[in-house]
Structure 1
């Protein structure tokens, strides 16, 4: 949702008939195209949601507004597309919150492991006033968040064998995103986190540059990472929201009518993505197994080892982020284990 303070500013701009976009006016009724880039494979649930967004915007604007979706990193990696959205080279993107935290430090709290036990808990927190507050700060970076999307829970995929406990990660070269807290957690349990851009991961797994990768099941499968890394473990170590972003200058240069069309379509897109995500993990697991891979569930005792492994990490790193926001997120999620650890 767009915050009240943003709407006031937007209303003033719209009332004056002014656009900050490209230095020229965008009058009500103008036709234009929105470029929407992402790193997700074309058939994945997110891109099904993005396609719905494009259809809704076109329909509700009577064809005036077209949305061109560019999947599969066609317009660059996540960081590159965030910057392109800031500078107006593209209008929209939907990065993982971990990468976006490089642009708004307050979002780093979502990079801590094992915050959410399930997606329903995550939705409750993200859709609250606290979740809205977390997105509002992006406006200082020239971005407006239209809502929380979803990648899902991140799991492990290894090349040489199944990993069940944190101790088995010692010395493992694991591809991660360039996210400081992700890197710090894996390093804290003895792994060798190796950040690299998404397009380089498949070849790196094939050639042994890294021993494994961590991503949601759907992304692991659609990017074909499960071909070289076919030993999967359902760790669910991080819930990975994405954020639907639009250029602030571009959005504020639109008429109030067009802003309403775009925001309304974005709300329906998020609902669609969440609906699709509800069943996709089980479907993808079945496909991975059918293709010869293995997917291992942790026992309660094994999962507890993973949760316990993060307690020292929380104690060491909570002070490096917005600690009060981290506490608020943990409290809203009902996560007393880490809340008690950092009090």
Structure 2
């Protein structure tokens, strides 16, 4: 009687065992290549669909599908659909809630202080100097910091140089900032730099900035031309000063565990195409900067430009920011940036 009772139990256990074994085998295959060998990658970013970054990512998506014969499916979530701030997007990528993001490098400084090197005002005179830094020793050194943050750097794009905007007066000299309420990105160095010039600065998430300017919570902000146009800040800001004060790179990052789980051939395609995408994004950003500055003037913004002499006065005035943050950034990173600028 006992033997008859045991047989169904043993049979049932065997069924469960083989079912679990089958599931385990199937999951291993899915982890390596996804369903039917396909991999879906989710990427989030904060800018609108007509911005250079999104346009470059759409072309990137198409190239990945083409080069992988449809095995890599990149899904892009623009305009802060998933996360309102760059910081939230980075944290979500670290956790694996999304696979990738493209963010401004000042956000990365809150995870790795060395990224603050790009936030130093008037560090680069032009884009060529900045590109040498991104593609050279500095970019390499910064990428080496990312795996400890559960991230891998895929390439550097740009928002271009940041410019000054406000509703009160044109900016010609540091003292023109005195008393202005200024919105800054969520980065302490930026806040200290504006406070050094006499502004009353506070950080605010990018997605909330337009309404805050509209409601006169702030008098001004700083931003690349492309974002002034894309986000229609010209509707709520009167004066634009072309100072090229801070070069604003972007970085595309992927969750390290996700990248490591990809088959080698697909990983190689992703890495190669991401580098090409970054260069393409820079080209589009420069093109948009040039075209959209004209459109901002046509929209009624009053535009003035700092001379080289003016810029030297600003940099001299902001030397305390270099002194305060050089140790936090790290000598190796600062030296690499300065070396690129002198080449």
TM-score using structure 1 length: 0.88
- In the TM superposition, what are the counterparts of 1:329-340 in structure 2 within 5 Å? 329-334=337-342
Q: Does 1:252 align with 2:250?
A: no
Which digits, 9 at most, give the CA deviation of each residue in 1:22-66, with x for residues without a partner? 996323861132111111111011111101110001111111221
- d(CA) in 2 for partners of 1:165 and 1:245? 37
The counterpart of 1:191, out of the listed 188, 199, 218, is 199
Contact 2:180 2:200 in 1 (8 A): yes
Q: Distance in 1 between matches of 2:274 and 2:298?
A: 35
Residues 1:73 and 2:80 are matched in the alignment: yes
Distance 1:298 1:174 in 2: 19
Matched, 1:161 2:169: yes
The whole-number CA distance in structure 2 between the counterparts of 1:244 and 1:291 is 32
Q: 1:176 aligns with which of 184, 188, 196?
A: 184
Worse-matched range after superposition: 256-265 or 306-315: 306-315
Closer, same or farther in 2 for the Cα pair 1:325/1:129, shift >3 Å?
closer
Rounded to whole Å, the distance in 2 between the matches of 1:36 and 1:22 is 24
Say how many residue pairs are matched: 317
- Could you tell me which runs of 5 or more consecutive residues in structure 1 were left unpaired when the two chains were aligned: 1-17, 336-343
Match of 2:276 in 1: 268
Higher Cα Rg, which structure = 2
SS of the counterpart of 1:312?
helix
CA deviation after TM superposition for structure 1 residue 266, in Å = 0.6
Q: Distance in 2 between matches of 1:319 and 1:80?
A: 27
Q: What is the RMSD of the two structures over their aligned residues, measured on CA atoms? A: 2.1
Alpha-carbon contact 2:93-2:100 (below 8 Å) kept: yes
Q: CA deviation at 1:212?
A: 0.4
Q: Name 2:65's counterpart in structure 1.
A: 58
Partner of 1:27: 33
Is the Cα contact below 8 Å between 1:41 and 1:219 reproduced in 2? no
More helix by proportion, 1 or 2?
Answer: 2
Matches within 5 A, 1:18-167: 25-27=31-33, 30-76=37-83, 77-167=85-175
2-structure distance, mates of 1:254, 1:295 = 49
Query: Offset of 1:317 from its aligned partner?
Result: 2.9
Q: CA deviation at 1:129?
A: 2.9
Kindly report which structure 2 residues correspond to 1:286-297, keeping only aligned pairs within 5 A, or say none. 286-297=294-305
CA distances 1:217-255 after superposition (whole Å, capped 9, x unpaired): 010111111111121000111101111101100000001
Q: Distance in 2 between matches of 1:187 and 1:22?
A: 54
Listed one character per residue, the Cα deviations across residues 109-134 of structure 1 (whole Å, up to 9, x for unaligned) are: 22211111111111111111332111
* Structure 2 counterpart of 1:308: 316
Show CA shifts across 1:81-131 (max 9, x none).
101100111011011110111111221222211111111111111111332
Q: Within 5 Å, which residues of 2 pair with 1:275-290?
A: 275-290=283-298
> Can you give the 5+ residue segments of structure 2 that lack an aligned partner in the other structure?
1-23
Measured in 2, the distance between the counterparts of 1:265 and 1:156 equals 34
